[in-house]
Structure 1
Amino acid sequence: MRILVTGGAGFIGSHLTDAFVAGGDEVTVLDDLSRGRPGRLDPSIALHKVSITDAPALRAVVESVRPELICHLAAQIDVRVSVDAPADDAVVNVVGTVNVLEAARAVGARVLFASTGGAIYGVDAPVPTSEDVLPGPEAPYGTAKYCAEQYLGLYNRLYGTRHAALRLANVYGPRQDPAGEAGVVGIFCGRAFRGERPTVFGDGHQTRDYVYVGDVADAFVAAARTDRPGVWNVGTGHETSVRELIDLLGHASGRDLDPEYAPARPGELQRSALANDSAARDLGWTPRTTVADGLAAVYAWVADGSPDRAGR
């Protein structure tokens, strides 16, 4: 297929680009490079420095490339930024997504949208959480992602398209900038490599569903090949606590880690994990990488100097 990846120079996007290229697809990347880095991409990949908020420029690229599939990963991804500037977050995550949908409609392309599983379901969701649980986001970021999902569904109803959304758990792996909640793995690995103590906010019993970036790329490829509309969780279905992360990292690094504890951050979810039964049934996808193996890969990447073109 001809595929356009928005946000393709980012952490997840660059891994996804590699996965499609490995499968023989023709891939083009669109990224405003606010977070993305060209060095993450194979030099043969065409890169257009364009923001999804610039509708005319976005449409010009799409009409030039004429992709059959657009994987839409470009986003404002920081929950804290969304709280401080909700309107700015909505411009990128809602209006930007509508711009992508309109550009896709002009050339008849299907859209796969990278949504959120950790921020969309809310504090009262059962764990593990399935897609039929009504979202109750606690921040503008999750609200904007849910709104964008609704636009995908609307376009499917209005225009008979087959757009789909993947609700991602806490994605981690090589190439991830150590920022934000999901960057805790990178942060901890960096501290361990430098011989520093990791900082744990709260008692360390809070859990997340950590899914390896290579598995996430495989989920997008599976959804692309399935060619059907839907909303699917992409996670392991298992909870891993912060204390468990530290224990596993100690084993991976060969260091005796002694965390320091800080006050819990207000509003932080205490538990989160995504049921992946629907993705297994509809896409034939299940994660293959254990947290132990994934942590070892990230630590090896940090120890190697955190190269942009790290492997999967």
Structure 2
Amino acid sequence: MRILVTGGAGFIGSHLTDVFLDNGDEVTVLDDLSRGRPGRLDPSVVVHKASITDAAALRSIVERVRPELICHLAAQIDVRVSVDAPADDAVVNVVGTVNVLEAARAVGARVLFASTGGAIYGVDAPIPTPEDVLPGPEAPYGTAKYCAEQYLGLYNRLYGTRHAALRLANVYGPRQDPAGEAGVVGIFCGRAVREERPTVFGDGHQTRDYVYVKDVARAFLAAAQTDRPGVWNIGTGRETSVRELIDLLGQAAGRDLDPEFAPARPGELQRSALAIDAAARDLGWTPRTTVAEGVESVYRWVESGSPDRAGR
């Protein structure tokens, strides 16, 4: 299959590219390289530098590549940026997605969209949360992702396409910037390797569903091979607290860690975990990596110097 991955030089996108290459597919990447790094990719992969907000450039590339499938991961991913600049967030995450859908329609490509499971459901959602719970996002980022999902559904009804969305839990793993502003596992590992104290916002009892990046890449492969429309949660179905993460990281580091506590961030969900029964039933997908195994893997990656092609 010919596949185009938007945001393919990013943390998740580069792992996804590896999985499709291993499957024997022909993969091309489109990335504006604002966060992505070509060094994360196999040298055989062609990278087109362009933004999904540039509809003309995007369509020109898609018409040259003529993919059968577009895995759409390019996005504005920072929740705090979305709160500060909601219109800018919507330009990338809503208008950019419509641009991808239009480019895909021009060549008859199917779209698999990377949505959010961590930011789309509201504070009153049951735990673990199934896909049929009405979204109630608390930030513009989650609202934009939900709006983009609605466009996928509209195109399926209007044009008979078979686009699908994967609602991702908190994805972590090698190649996630340990010095970045997002990705608590990578950030904690980076601080632990530097022998600095991890900072916990709130009391540390807040939970998230941490899913390993290679499992996420396998979910995209399963959705590509299933060739059916739908919306699926991709997570572990299990809550892990920040305090549990620190304990697991201490085991990986071989020493007790002494976190420092800071005030809770406004609007942060106290609990989050995704029900994954539908993905198991419809896609034949379940996660393989435990949080303990994943945290160990990230710690060793950071300890080794955080090489771009690690986790291959």
Q: Normalising by structure 1, what TM-score?
A: 0.99
Match of 1:135 in 2: 135
Amino acid of the residue matched to residue 287 of structure 2? P
Q: Provide the residue aligned with 1:153 in structure 2.
A: 153
In the alignment of these two chains, the number of paired residues is: 311
Instruction: State the Cα distance separating 1:87 from its structure 2 match.
Output: 0.5
SS in 2 for 1:111: strand
Task: Report what 1:275 is aligned to.
Answer: 275
Shift of 1:180: 3.9
- Output the CA distance in 2 between the equivalents of 1:240 and 1:180: 20
Over aligned residue pairs, what C-alpha RMSD do you find? 0.7
Partner in structure 1 of residue 34 of structure 2: 34
Q: What CA distance in whole angstroms lies between the structure 1 residues aligned with 2:232 and 2:248?
A: 28
- Where does the alignment leave 5 or more consecutive residues of structure 1 unmatched? none
Q: Which residue of 1 aligns with 2:66?
A: 66
- Provide the rounded CA distance (Å) in 2 between the counterparts of 1:196 and 1:263: 19
1:104 aligns with 2:97: no
- Tell me if structure 2 keeps the 8 A contact 1:163–1:228: yes
Quote the residue 1:47 is aligned against: 47
Code of the residue aligned with 2:308 in structure 1: it is D
Whole-angstrom CA distance in 1 between matches of 2:169 and 2:204: 19
Per the TM alignment, residue 214 of structure 1 is displaced from its structure 2 partner at its CA by 0.2
CA displacement at 1:128 relative to structure 2: 0.4
Q: Report deviation, 1:265.
A: 1.0
Q: 1:204 to 1:139 in 2, by over 3 A?
A: same
Aligned to 2:214: 214
1:254 counterpart residue number:
254
Where does structure 1 differ by over 2 angstroms across 4 or more consecutive aligned residues? 178-181
2:296 is equivalent to residue 296 of structure 1: yes
Deviation digits for residues 240-283 of structure 1 (CA, Å, limit 9, x no counterpart) = 00000000000011121111111111111000000000000000
Q: Distance in 1 between matches of 2:94 and 2:256?
A: 45
Cα distance in 2, alignment partners of residues 54 and 198 from structure 1: 39
| Deviations 1:27-82 (CA, angstroms, capped at 9, x unpaired) | 00000001101111111100000000000100000000000000000000000000
Supply the distance in 2 between the matched residues of 1:177 and 1:119 (Cα, whole angstroms).
20
Verify: 1:184 aligned to 2:175, yes or no. no
**Structure 2 Cα separation of the partners of residues 64 and 287 of structure 1:** 35
SS of 1:3 mapped into structure 2: strand
Secondary structure class of the residue paired with 1:237: coil
Which structure 2 segments of 5+ residues have no match? none
Q: Secondary structure at the match of 2:255?
A: coil
Normalising by structure 2, we get a TM-score of 0.99
Q: Deviations over 1:173-206 (max 9, x none)?
A: 000023344x110111011111111111111000
Q: How much does 1:226 deviate?
A: 0.2
Q: What do the CA deviations read for 1:72-104 (whole angstroms, capped 9, x no partner)?
A: 000000000000000000000000000000000
> Which amino acid letter does the alignment assign opposite residue 77 of structure 2?
I
